């Protein structure tokens, strides 16, 4: 039996792609242990739904700012150094603030630091893919999504701590743990990676240029983006997926805890189930993507995610049957989110200009975050009215995603070949050169 293409890709990774992918599961023992409880933790400390949504929007607006700065920073400092410095600023420092949080302003300040994560998001992407074969990019991003989903397998750790110490003390312990492991991840990745070939060139080209002159060059970058239909489409898809994921991540715990009355110790077990489903689909469905253009998996991902959100809205507020509905909902969510996250990242990477990757991706991230940012605040207002409404909003966004995909591929028939050819070369083991 032929080896699974994702397993084959994982074993054959070398250099920076291997360093980035192999260290990514450390998220599962750090930040993602806290994620299932983030909103509930904030509410337990006295924040209202609207304040939770406002903090989410502050976080997103800070991402807009840092996304704008990230290209110039990444070119000036290099991909490797930028990733190390700003990962510490964006994750290690906020972990200490969240651990000591007592109210709204702690979370507000933490969001200001945490928004800097868009800088290492850009530099880390460059570090991972710039020296990789183009034919492997979709597979590499699939592995990154799998690594992120693996984090949910550690969910019982959170459940045990919450059961034993109650919610607030347990989450404080988890944030201390997040600080230690994220800081260790930063050092490991820095030690195991090397500056990319493009990164060395860009550092040399920007050595004698001021930081502000680099920011001034974004006009040409916007022209590069604006003349590419594929890039514009990838931005639309990434923004829609980002909005849905932000609303779902922020308010899923709230609806499950406050409307469906699921006990706190059980909260991490459901995301674990969703992540297992996502990994199964990524290992079984993604290797068959080469049979289609990217249109088919995009439409399937949007439709599945929409079905999962609809089931969550319809779940009864009491009784054992609500757990059945939750599991079915998360099955659709797992397929939809896993597929869309991988495809959104892959579309952006496939259409980017290689020489200007850092600055083009900086503008792309800025546009995506700017479009996504208001949805945390909007979701908070809607949740204050009804716990169901943020997910009704998501259903509407996902419907727009289906419409955008159909329109783009109808108007650009040649786009069917993009992605299909890349995936086919990977399936055959050929280099994109």
Domain that holds residue 405: 5-428
Among positive and negative, which fits the CA dihedral 304, 305, 308, 309?
negative
Please give the pLDDT value at position 381.
85
Phi and psi angles of residue 49, each rounded to the nearest 5 degrees, phi first: -55, -45
404 in a domain, yes or no?
A: yes
CA–CA separation, 304 and 294 (whole Å): 16
The 10 Å Cβ neighbour count of residue 105 is 9
Domain count, the chain: 1
Distance of alpha carbon 26 from the chain centroid: 15
CA-nearest of 203, 14, 184, 212 to 87 is 184
CB 342 within 8 A of CB 286: yes
Q: What is the pLDDT along the chain (433 residues), one digit of tens a residue?
A: 345 677 787 888 888 989 998 998 887 788 878 877 888 899 999 998 889 888 988 887 888 888 888 888 998 999 999 999 999 999 999 999 999 999 999 999 999 999 999 899 889 988 998 887 766 777 787 788 777 767 667 767 887 888 888 889 999 999 999 999 999 999 999 999 999 998 998 899 888 888 777 766 666 666 766 666 777 887 888 888 888 888 887 788 788 888 877 777 777 777 777 777 777 776 776 666 555 567 788 888 899 999 999 998 888 877 777 888 888 888 888 888 777 877 776 676 666 666 666 667 677 777 777 777 788 778 888 888 888 898 999 999 999 999 998 988 888 776 655 555 444 444 444 443 3
433 in a domain, yes or no?
A: no
Please give the pLDDT value at position 221.
64
13 in a domain, yes or no?
A: yes
CA–CA separation, 245 and 398 (whole Å): 11
Please give the pLDDT value at position 82.
96
CB 32 within 8 A of CB 151: yes
Please give the pLDDT value at position 119.
92
Please give the pLDDT value at position 178.
93
CA–CA separation, 276 and 151 (whole Å): 10
3-state secondary structure of 101: coil
Please give the pLDDT value at position 396.
94
CA-nearest of 383, 365, 386 to 375 is 383
Q: Is 14 exposed, middle or buried (0-12, 13-18, 19+ CB in 10 A)?
A: exposed
227 in a domain, yes or no?
A: yes
CA–CA separation, 433 and 431 (whole Å): 5
Please give the pLDDT value at position 100.
94
Residue 110 makes CB contacts below 8 A (sequence gap 6+) with 94, 97, 98, 101
The 10 Å Cβ neighbour count of residue 227 is 9
Tokens for 70?
């990230």
Q: What is the CATH number of the domain that holds 153?
A: 1.20.1250.20
CA–CA separation, 342 and 361 (whole Å): 16
258 in a domain, yes or no?
A: yes
User: Does an H or E element contain 333, and which?
Assistant: helix 321-351
């Amino acid at each position: 039996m032929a080896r699974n293409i994702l397993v084959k890709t994982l074993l054959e990774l070398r250099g920076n792609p291997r360093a980035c992918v192999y260290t990514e599961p450390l998220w599962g023992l750090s930040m993602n242990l806290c994620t299932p409880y983030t909103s509930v933790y904030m509410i337990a400390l006295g924040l209202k739904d609207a304040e939770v949504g406002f903090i989410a929007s502050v976080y997103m607006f800070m991402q807009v700012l840092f996304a704008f700065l990230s290209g110039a920073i990444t070119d000036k400092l290099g991909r490797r150094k930028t990733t190390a410095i700003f990962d510490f600023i964006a994750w290690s420092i906020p972990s200490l603030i969240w651990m000591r949080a007592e109210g709204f302003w702690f979370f507000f300040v933490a969001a200001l630091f945490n928004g800097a994560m868009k800088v290492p998001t850009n530099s880390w992407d460059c570090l991972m893919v710039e020296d990789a074969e183009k034919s492997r990019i979709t597979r590499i991003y699939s592995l990154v999504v799998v690594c992120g989903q693996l984090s949910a397998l550690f969910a019982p750790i959170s459940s045990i701590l919450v059961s034993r110490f109650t919610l607030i003390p347990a989450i404080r312990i988890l944030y201390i743990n997040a600080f230690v492991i994220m800081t260790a991840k930063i050092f490991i990745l820095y030690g195991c990676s090397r500056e990319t070939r493009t990164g060395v060139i860009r550092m040399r080209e920007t050595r004698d240029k001021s930081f502000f002159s680099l920011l001034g060059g974004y006009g040409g970058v916007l022209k590069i983006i604006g003349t590419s239909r594929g890039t514009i489409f990838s931005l639309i898809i990434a923004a829609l997926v980002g909005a849905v994921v932000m609303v779902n991540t922020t308010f899923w715990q709230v609806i499950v805890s406050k409307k469906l009355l699921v006990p706190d110790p059980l909260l991490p077990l459901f995301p674990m189930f969703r992540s297992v489903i996502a990994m199964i689909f990524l290992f079984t469905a993604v290797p068959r993507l080469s049979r289609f253009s990217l249109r088919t998996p995009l439409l399937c991902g949007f439709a599945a995610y929409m079905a999962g959100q609809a089931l969550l809205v319809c779940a009864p507020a009491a009784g054992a049957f609500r757990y059945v509905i939750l599991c079915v909902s998360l099955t659709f969510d797992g397929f939809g989110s896993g597929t869309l996250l991988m495809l959104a990242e892959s579309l952006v990477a496939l259409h980017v200009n290689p020489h200007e990757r850092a600055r083009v991706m900086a503008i792309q991230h800025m546009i995506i975050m700017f479009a996504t940012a208001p949805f945390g605040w909007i979701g908070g207002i809607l949740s204050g009215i009804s716990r169901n409404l943020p997910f009704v909003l998501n259903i509407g966004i996902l419907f727009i995603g289906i419409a955008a995909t159909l329109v783009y591929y109808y108007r650009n028939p040649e786009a069917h070949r993009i992605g299909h050819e890349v995936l086919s070369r990977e399936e055959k083991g050929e280099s994109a050169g």
